[in-house]
Homo-oligomer: A and B are copies of this chain.
Amino acid sequence: MSRYSIGIDLGGTNLRAAAIDENGNLLKKISGSTPVTEGPEAEIADMVHAARLLRDEFGRDGLAGIGAGVPGNIDMSAGVVVRWGNVPSFTGYPTRDELSKQLNTPVILENDANAAAIGEHWMGAGRGMDDFILLTLGTGIGGGIIHDGNIVRGHIGMAGELGHITVVPNGNPCGCGNRGCVEKHAAAPAIAAMAQLLRLGDNLSAQDVEILAEKGDERALTIWGSMGEHLGIALAILINIFNARMYLIGGGVSGAWPYFAPAMFAEIERRSMTYRLTKASTHIERATLGGEAGLYGAARLPLLGNAI
């Protein structure tokens, strides 16, 4: 059989793992059971368990390695999480080496937003694009920058913190210390907060507000309009900086595209001369791999070796 690898996506709650062959066929996907909040030892046991199940099924011979995407900043050379906001117990823990030792297989650790960009580059909307930027809209906004075919990592693995681009100098406060980060005006909790401010209903989620917009609710549409404007400011900034061919919007919140995209494009058009001059060659689109982008990207890493 052809070569394959195992991708692991360690989310905010628990893990998913998949065996994916070198042609990008997803062979099997499974979920873990241990909440990440139980700390690195328990989580690594869960990752090892999931990887062994897949390896037992698809064989040791064809396995190129294991890639793991985690929602923190990674020191790639050390294979260590430098900072993972919500789960500090992972910081400094030798995640890569421990996994590699227990599984006796090469392991590559990567930031989850970067993994998603690598996934979209491999099998999604970014195929064949050597320069693109992925924004993943969920609880926060993750960013992955691909330049000349490689992830931009920064000198300690903290590049691509695109959710923390300032779009309103004195806007909503952010846990990072800043005010007006784009994720505080355009990610799921910001949608929910605006719904509350407009008394749209009790404890509505971003998805609830999307459903209301679908039904034509004026206030829900206003909320998505505001979200689109703020996202548009961040995108105009990125376009002015990178002049890349492609910008992809992924993550759960991107499903509301029909309701926020018009305001987003209007704002980009107004704020970026570069966009106006390159509209024919600048693609701003939805990502296509959905929640599986990170799994594809994580699995891609061992197949690439050190190429990305």
Contact = CB atoms under 8 A, between A and B. Distances in A.
Interface of A: 82-83, 131, 143, 145, 147-148, 150, 152-162, 164-169, 176-179, 233, 236-238, 240-245, 270-274, 276-278, 281-282
Contact of A177 (B147, B148, B177, B273): B273
B271 A158 contact: no
5 contacts: A143-B241, A158-B278, A159-B241, A166-B237, A169-B233
A157 B273 CA distance: 13
A273 B241 contact: no
B131 A155 contact: yes
B276 A177 contact: yes
Given A167-B169, A176-B273, A273-B176, A243 B157 contact: yes
A162 to B, nearest CB: 7
A244 B271 CA distance: 25
Contact of A154 (B233, B242, B273): B242
Q: Which 3 A-B pairs have the closest CB atoms?
A: A154-B243, A159-B243, A158-B243
Given A154-B242, A243-B159, A178 B278 contact: no
Contacts of A272: 164, 176, 178
A270 B177 contact: yes
Contacts of A131: 154-155
A159 B272 CA distance: 12
A166 B278 contact: no
Given A155-B244, A241-B145, A245-B155, A166 B273 contact: no
